[in-house]
Structure 1
Amino acid sequence: MKVAIAGAGAVGRAIARELVVSGHTVTLFEKNASNLLPESLPQAQWVHADACELHDLENAQLQTYDVVIAATGDDKANLVLSLLATTEFAVNRVVARVNDPRNEWLFTEDWGVDVAVSTPRLMAALVEEAVSVGDLVRLMTFRQGQANLVELTLPDDTPLAGKAVRRLQLPRDVALVTIIRGRRVIVPQPDDALEGGDELVFIAPEEAERHLAQVIRMPGGSEPLTSG
Structure 2
Amino acid sequence: MKALIAGAGRLGTQIAQVLAAARNEVTLVDVDEDRVAALAGRLPVRLLAGDACDPAVLEHAGALTAGLLVATTGDDEDNLVVSLLAKRRFAVPRVAARVNDEENTWLFDHRWGVDTAVPAATPLISLIEEATGATDTVALLRLSKAGVDVIETAITPRSRAAGRTLAEIALPEGTVVATVVREGRPTVPAPGMRLRPGDELLVVSHTATEGEIHAAFQ
TM range (shorter): 0.5 to 0.7
CA deviation string 1:80-139 (max 9, x = no partner): 00000011001100011111111100000000000001132x138849x9xxxxxxxxxx
TM-score between both structures, scaled by the size of structure 2 = 0.55
Q: 2: distance between equivalents of 1:7 and 1:116?
A: 15
Distance 1:55 1:20 in 2: 24
1:51 is aligned to 52
Ranges in structure 1 where 5+ consecutive residues have no aligned partner: 130-139, 141-183, 186-228
Separation in structure 2 between the aligned mates of residue 24 and residue 58 of structure 1, nearest angstrom: 18
For 2:41, the equivalent position in structure 1 comes to 39
Q: Tell me if structure 1 keeps the 8 A contact 2:84–2:112.
A: yes
Is the CA contact (8 Å cut-off) linking 2:33 and 2:50 kept in structure 1? no
Trace 1:1-228 onto structure 2 (pairs within 5 A).
1-36=1-36, 37-41=39-43, 43-120=44-121, 122-123=122-123, 126=126
Distance change in 2, residues 1:55/1:28 (3 Å) = same
Q: CA deviation at 1:34?
A: 2.2
CA–CA separation in structure 2 for the residues paired with 1:124 and 1:3: 26
Distance in 2 of aligned mates of 1:19 and 1:60: 16
Q: In the alignment, residue 8 of structure 2 is paired with which amino acid? A: A
The DSSP-based 3-state class of the residue aligned with 1:79 is: helix
Q: Which residue type is aligned with residue 11 of structure 1?
A: L
- Aligned length, in residue pairs: 131
Distance in 1, Cα, partners of 2:80 & 2:125: 23
Alignment CA distance shift 1:108-1:67 (3 Å): same
Considering Cα pairs closer than 8 Å and 6+ residues apart, tell me whether 1 or 2 has the greater RCO.
2
Q: Which amino acid aligns with 1:8?
A: A
SS at match of 2:114: coil
Q: Which runs of 4+ in 1 moved over 4 A?
A: 124-127
Partner Cα distance (2:125, 2:22) in 1: 26
Distance (Å, rounded) in 2 between the aligned partners of 1:34 and 1:80: 23
1:152-182 per-position Cα deviation (integer Å, ceiling 9, x unaligned): xxxxxxxxxxxxxxxxxxxxxxxxxxxxxxx
Please list the CA deviations of residues 187-226 of structure 1 after superposition, one character each: whole Å capped at 9, or x if unmatched: xxxxxxxxxxxxxxxxxxxxxxxxxxxxxxxxxxxxxxxx
* CA root-mean-square deviation: 2.5
The change in CA–CA distance for 1:87 and 1:125 in structure 2 (over 3 A counts) is: farther
Counterpart residue type for residue 20 of structure 1: A
C-alpha distance in structure 2 between counterparts of 1:88 and 1:74, whole Å? 21
Greater helix proportion: 2
Larger Rg: 1
